[in-house]
Amino acid sequence: MKLIVKVFPEITIKSRPVRKQFIRQLGKNIRAVLRDLDPALRVTGVWDNLEVETDLDDPRLLAEMTERLSNTPGIGLFLEVNEYPLGDLDEITEHCKRHYADQLPGKIFAVRCKRGGKHAFSSIDVERHVGSRLRQECAAAGIDLKKPEVEVRMEIRDQRLFVVHHRHEGLGGYPLGSLEQTLVLMSGGFDSTVAAYQMMRRGLVSHFCFFNLGGRAHELGVMEVAHYIWQKFGRSQRVLFISVPFEEVVGEILSKVDNSQMGVILKRMMLRAATRVAERLDIEALVTGEAISQVSSQTLTNLAVIDSATDMLVMRPLIASHKQDIIDTATQIGTAEFAKNMPEYCGVISVNPTTKARGYRVEKEEAQFDMAILERALERATQLPIDRVIDELGKDVQVETVSEALAGQIVIDIRHPDAAEDEPLEVPGVEVQALPFYALNNKFKELDENRQYLLYCDKGVMSRLHAHHLLSEGHANVRVYRPFGQPQAASHQPQDGRVQSP
């Protein structure tokens, strides 16, 4: 398969050196994103377009390749093409006929030709000649340049002809690694996941910072959704997941701070901590999912007081977004189900939260706060490369594993629905239920407690983690199902970013 990758249009208006830098970075990212599918992948081109070639012929691998490129920042669109040596107009027609003859009978069509280089004919000459012959020889109903039912597309570059047979939209934005880095304050809900996506889509490498307000289930849920976002949109770069234990900070706020000021002061403590993390990692900006007046702490007055806790730039890509638009975007990118099933935690809840915080009042309340507690939280913070976070979590988790499911037991396939649909799990003589990992914690309590459940996933890591959590919650009827001989999936190793892994 051969692909022509068209870069994000804003890249083409940059100066020549910047444009070359961006396109060179995009080529590196494409190799990194597709390396595990095809180690022999060829990526060429340095100026306006990139050409990607693979010798793979497995439809599933090719579909996965297309999906990954569709979610790679920096790509405006890409075309599946067949390449031929450029001949005369009749030869061009024959090549087009080979690919489009079956689509044209009874249809209104148009021919579109893009051309670069010096030739004895123009693009319009090609379109007229090819269109006239295809209409006569392929039983087409007619030609309409404005609203065709079928478009016959081709590109001519110097002495090469590319007949286009599929067009795929890209994510747009700039290539990851060509712009600055950010630290996203991640709660795992609708807002923070969409904010992270917006920054990655624009081309900013985004690391994840989670403040644990009390709950292993919530931390695990946020790790999972952060890993999902990275794997889908940012896997060309290695980024970090930082977890800061904030339970003691919350306790100090609850005992020392006036009820009305709790929400604002909690956000200020988070910004202080995130700033320290970002400075240590040489990251230049913080990102939050806040939108104007969505909750009491997000009035313009409160946001100004919150931001005064740091000198670092705080970016809010959703600041003027409606909640439903945020939810719609989360649904589109695949994080909505995570958000809806995110385990709840007990945080700082004000009975009458202020919407008009005043700096002097906040500073007076914070004077009662023992800042040594914030220092301890930062000292106990952990960080892991996001591509290893799930594996690292599962290393020391001991859960009973079985290689054979017995009659009467139920195997629960906790994989993402896309994976479960692509490769359905079948266990002869045993019932299999699909219950995605992001819904497992909430839904498991609804299952029959008298049945035995075996959790299944591809690598066995996620199933161990969730089985361990369910056991710790008092569910004794859980084990892990690992069929005998099931291969371990190879872990993806992205190219190194500017942040060094711990």
Q: Are 298 and 305 in contact (CB under 8 A)?
A: no
**Of 19, 18, 24, which is closest to residue 44 (Cα–Cα)?**
24
DSSP letter for each residue of 18-38 = HHHHHHHHHHHHHHHHHTTT-
Q: Which SS3 state, helix, strand or coil, does residue 154 take? A: strand
**Of 100, 95, 78, which is closest to residue 160 (Cα–Cα)?**
95
Distance CA 282, CA 438 (A): 32
Q: Are 151 and 52 in contact (CB under 8 A)?
A: no
Quickly count: other Cβ atoms within 10 Å of residue 409's Cβ.
18
**Of 164, 153, 77, 156, which is closest to residue 111 (Cα–Cα)?**
153
Q: Which residues, in sequence order, are CB contacts of 207 under 8 Å at separation 6+?
A: 181, 182, 183, 184, 239, 240, 241, 242, 281, 283, 499
**Catalytic positions:** 457
Distance CA 249, CA 320 (A): 30
Determine phi and psi for 276, rounding to 5 degrees.
-65, -40
Distance CA 183, CA 66 (A): 29
Distance CA 401, CA 403 (A): 7
Q: In DSSP terms, which residues pair with 49 in a beta bridge?
A: 6
Q: How far is CA 457 from CA 415, 419, 463, 486, in A?
A: 5, 10, 6, 11
Q: Which residues, in sequence order, are CB contacts of 319 under 8 Å at separation 6+?
A: 290, 291, 292
Q: Which SS3 state, helix, strand or coil, does residue 371 take? A: helix
Determine phi and psi for 142, rounding to 5 degrees.
160, -175
Q: What tokens were used for 197?
A: 């996506």
Q: Are 296 and 355 in contact (CB under 8 A)?
A: yes
Distance CA 17, CA 153 (A): 31
3-class SS string, 266-309: HHHHHHHHHHHHHHHCCCCEEECCCCCCCCHHHCHHHHHHHHCC
Q: What tokens were used for 231?
A: 């794997």
